[in-house]
Amino acid sequence: LQKSLNETFGADKYSEARKEVLTNMFSRPMQMALYFCTGVLEDETLFRHYALNVPFYTHFTSPIRRYADIIVHRLLSASLGSSSPIKMEKEAIQRQADHSNDRKMASKRVQELSADLFFSIFVRVR
């Protein structure tokens, strides 16, 4: 997709903007990654990362960024034996995952609406 976009839009002063807009529009329908507690899901195929084609996958960023990442770091550390297990039931972890997913979706929606607003201003001005 990226190669096609790069080859299609030429080199005029608006080509980069057209490419950015279409890339954004193409990526919106892609399924977002969701946090979940493996202890509440019995179907291990849900642990798979489609794009990377790996059967088990966990993702986290720096634990200073989001509470969900702190939980993932703590769980991973405990599973590797580097720290003691955290004192949360799997249902509580799933509730936190659901809350994190809700907040992430709300944030993404606000980001999309903001981009739509500024894009409409850009189109009107041009």
> For residue range 10-46, what is the model confidence (pLDDT) as tens digits?
778 888 887 777 777 776 666 677 888 888 888 888 7
For the CA atoms of 43, 28, 16, 115, what is the dihedral angle to 10 degrees?
-130
41 phi/psi in degrees, rounded to 5: -110, 130
User: Which pLDDT score is estimated for 1?
Assistant: 62
> What is the mean predicted confidence (pLDDT) over 50-57?
79
> What is the mean predicted confidence (pLDDT) over 84-113?
90
Average pLDDT, the chain: 82
Per the model's pLDDT, the better-predicted residue between 33 and 83 turns out to be 83
User: Which pLDDT score is estimated for 31?
Assistant: 66
Beta-bridge mates of residue 54: 49
Is 57 within 8 Å of 47 (Cβ atoms)? yes
| Domain locations along the chain | 1-30, 35-125
Per DSSP, the three-state class of 55 is: coil
Q: pLDDT at residue 102 above 90?
A: yes
- Give this prediction's pTM: 0.65
- Please name the residues in contact with 49: beta carbons below 8 A apart, sequence gap of 6 or more: 57
Nearest residue to 96 (alpha-carbon basis) of 88, 86, 105, 85: 88
CA distances from 94 to 50, 86, 97, 105, 111 (A): 22, 14, 5, 16, 25
